[in-house]
Amino acid sequence: MLTVFIIGPAGSGKSTLTAAFSKWLEANDMPSVIVNLDPAVERLPYRPDVDVRDYITAKELILDHGLGPNGAIIAAVDILATEMLPQIKEDIRSYRAGYVLIDTPGQMEIFAFRTVGTFIINELSEERSAVLFLIDSVFTLSPTTFVSSLLLSASVFYRFGKPQIMVLTKSDLLEKSDLEKATLWISSPEALLTELSREKTCSRTFHEKICDVIKDIIESFELVPVSSVTSEGLEKLYTLLQQIYVGGEDYVVLP
Ligand SMILES: Nc1nc2c(ncn2[C@@H]2O[C@H](COP(=O)(O)OP(=O)(O)OP(=O)(O)O)[C@@H](O)[C@H]2O)c(=O)[nH]1
Ligand SMILES: [Mg+2]
């Protein structure tokens, strides 16, 4: 089993990608199991095989305990971690699927930056696991928002230490010229620095230091443009995940 955690800021396309990628896998004869870990979501674009809401919802915590929306998600995730993980793990394993796609809560920081998030990720990871960190294409339109997204991706890696792929979501909404610009920034941190230097938010020295960090991030993680609407990039995503799944060239037969 390869457990794939789909993580990203609110609205970055996590649930839609979960739906599109599971369909793609199914169309290519790769069975997958879909897990919804978002206790607050009302509607999903897929039918989850395992759903945290069967055990706990943010809504009931709001109604029963008077919590606010974020407090309710924090409490739900804590309850999930302390009481429900063995059952959820068993539910997932009962499917015996090759891929486990885990759609994570919209409020990324509640999941990614609290200790409980690391615990859940470690508990649910099967023999192989990976993180897809989603960056909304709209964040490539400005160099500073793009850089902020790359730093956020690095901080998620810093938390979980899993093999990680950066997914540029909603690529169908990007103009060709914007995609080319983002590709240039990725391939040439110098070009990114030139662009950043035009922004007067901070000094050139600070931009230079950030670009040094960005260079390392770019070298460490692939960035794959993906559209859940047109399916562009899903095959590339699969190829990269397979490399993680099979652990390189040596392993040729899937379990
Ligand atoms: N055009 C286009 N729209 C997309 C794509 N992926 C997602 N969207 C839209 O982006 C919006 C947010 O998508 P979701 O999948 O709900 O994002 P999410 O990260 O799960 O959102 P939260 O769980 O609320 O944080 C929805 O309106 C989707 O239809 C895509 O590839 N192309
Ligand atoms: Mg979602």
Helix locations, 28-138, DSSP H: 58-65, 69-79, 85-94, 108-112, 115-124
Measured between alpha carbons, how far is 136 from 132 in angstroms, rounded to an integer?
Answer: 12
Alpha-carbon separation of residue 115 from 22, 78, 136, 157 (angstroms): 29, 10, 25, 14
Residue 251 in any domain: the answer is no
- Residue 53 C-alpha to ligand 2 middle, in angstroms? 13
Task: Please indicate, yes or no, if residue 38 is contained in any of the structural domains.
Answer: yes
Residue with the smallest CA separation from ligand 1 atom 30 is: 170
- CATH code, domain with 132: 3.40.50.300
DSSP tag of 104: P
Judge whether 65 lies within some domain.
yes
Position 30 in a domain: yes
Structural domain harbouring 154: 2-246
Residue 189 inside a domain? The answer is yes
Is the pLDDT at 251 greater than 50? The verdict is no
Give long-range contacts, CB 8 A cutoff, 24+ apart: 234-237. 234/20, 234/21, 234/24, 235/24, 237/21, 237/132, 237/165, 237/167
Examine residue 16 and state whether it is found in any structural domain, yes or no. Answer: yes
Percent of the chain past pLDDT 70, that is, above it, reads 97
Answer whether residue 144 is part of any domain: yes
Ligand 1, residues at Cβ distance < 6 Å: 8, 10-16, 38, 106, 169-170, 172-173, 227-229
Distance from Cα 19 to the centre of ligand 2, integer Å = 10
Average pLDDT value for residue range 146-168: 93
Ligand 1, atom 14, lies closest to the CA of 13
Alpha-carbon span 232 to 69, nearest angstrom: 35
Residue 253 lies inside a defined structural domain of this protein: no
pLDDT digit string (tens) for 43-64?
Answer: 999 999 999 999 999 999 999 9
Number of folded domains in the chain? 1
Structure confidence by residue, pLDDT tens digits, 131-148: 999 999 999 999 999 999
Flag whether pLDDT at 249 surpasses 60: no
Both tokens of residue 36? Answer: 């919804």
Residue ranges near ligand 2 (ion) with Cβ within 5 Å: 14-15
Q: Which ligand is nearest to the CA of 225?
A: 1
Per-residue pLDDT tens digits for 166-208? 999 999 999 999 999 988 888 888 888 888 888 877 888 988 8
**Ligand lying nearest the CA atom of residue 106:** 1
